[in-house]
Amino acid sequence: MTNQTTDKVFHAIVHGRVQGVSFRYHTRAAASTLGLNGWVRNLPDGTVEVLAQGDDRDLRDLLRWLKDGPPGSRVDKLDVDWRDPSGSPEPFKIIY
């Protein structure tokens, strides 16, 4: 019996009122709860960038969460690019 991995990766850019509302901290908490690896960071243009790796179902749960965001945020648009996993996954973190 072969052990197939179901790990996938997405890269997302979140547009809207997503900086100054603890978006990164809430994203890290949501991703960690789902057991995902990756990172989140603010970009100079006011968006938030997310790279997440893990089980497809858990990634889709995080995407649903990102579409709403935490209280006080407003997500206007979510750009998502699915990728093949590469490298060693690390626990989800905030990049400063």
Dig out the tokens for 66 from the structure: 């990102």
Q: How many CB atoms neighbour CB 15 within 10 A?
A: 15
pLDDT tens digits for range 38-51: 999 999 999 999 99
Q: Which residues of 60-80 are buried (b: 16+ CB within 10 A; e: fewer)?
A: ebbeebbeebbeebebeebee
Q: Are 12 and 63 in contact (CB under 8 A)?
A: yes
Domain regions of the chain by residue span:
22-94
d(CA 78, CA 84): 19
pLDDT of 79 > 90? The answer is yes
pTM, full prediction:
0.92
Catalytic residues: 24, 42
Q: Which fold has domain 22-94?
A: Alpha-Beta Plaits (3.30.70)
Averaged pLDDT score across all residues of the chain = 93
pLDDT of 1 > 80? The answer is no
